[in-house]
Each structure stands twice: as C-alpha cells, then as structure tokens.
Amino acid sequence: MNRGLEELNPGDETEFDIESVIPKRLAKYLVLEEDVILNAAKPVTQLVRQGIYFLIKDNTIEYVGQTLNLYGRLGNHEKLQPYHKIAFLPVPTEKKLVLQWIEDHYIKKFQPKLNIKGKE
C-alpha cells in the first residue's frame, strides 16, 4: 500500500508514492537518468567564475568586491557573515583592471558601509 509522506510515522518503513507529496512543477527534477547527469557534469574549475559580488543585509548592499574565483573568495572572506545574502555579477574577463573599474563604479554608486573605499 502506498501512502503520502504526511501519513508516515518515524520508523515506519511502508513505501509511499513520492509523486503524491511533491508539487507537479518539481517532478521534472526527479526524472533525470544517470547518463544525462554525467554528460552535463563540468570540472569544478569551469564552475569558478570571475566577477563582482555584493554582500547584502536587510535589502542593503553592505559590501562590493571583485574576484577571479568566487567560491574561493567567499570561502575566506572576513566580512561575510551567515546573515548575508550574496548577489553575483559575472564578468567575462580575466583582467583585474576591468574588474577593478567595475568594482569601483559600484562602490561609488552604492557607498557600502563595509567598503573602506566607499568611506572616502
């Protein structure tokens, strides 16, 4: 007998019908075959992107930064706190000068409180 998730008790090993407990719009994410996933996989180095990132708290931009490696940068960012949201603007360049120019533009425009440059 198949039951919905809400009918299960902890420790109950009865099978249930997953399609009865998830919204139909999410069902498409449950049908991927292994070969589709394997063919779509990319090396981690291709996922790392350069660009401008924004640390946001309470709908206010608190910090603007630039990076050639978003994941590495956020992993050791001294100003990043658990309450921050992050917005990322990918910039297809490896040139630090271009990133610096764009970062400076947004620091001047938004004057985020955690940017030292923004306090000048």
Q: CATH 3.40.1440.10 in the chain, residues?
A: 44-119
> Which CATH architecture fits 44-119?
3-Layer(aba) Sandwich (3.40)
Confidence at residue 20, expressed as pLDDT on a 0 to 100 scale: 64
Name the strands in the sheet holding 60-67, side by side, starting at the edge strand that comes first in the sequence: 60-67, 51-57, 85-90
Q: What is the pLDDT along the chain (120 residues), one digit of tens a residue?
A: 444 434 445 455 555 565 566 666 666 666 767 777 778 766 655 555 788 999 998 889 999 999 988 878 888 887 888 878 888 888 877 788 889 999 999 999 999 999 975 454
Threshold 0.85, pTM exceeds: no
Characterize 99-114 residue by residue with b for buried, 16 or more Cβ atoms within 10 angstroms of its Cβ, and e for exposed. beebbeebbeebebeb
Q: Residue 53 pairs with which residues in a beta bridge?
A: 65, 88
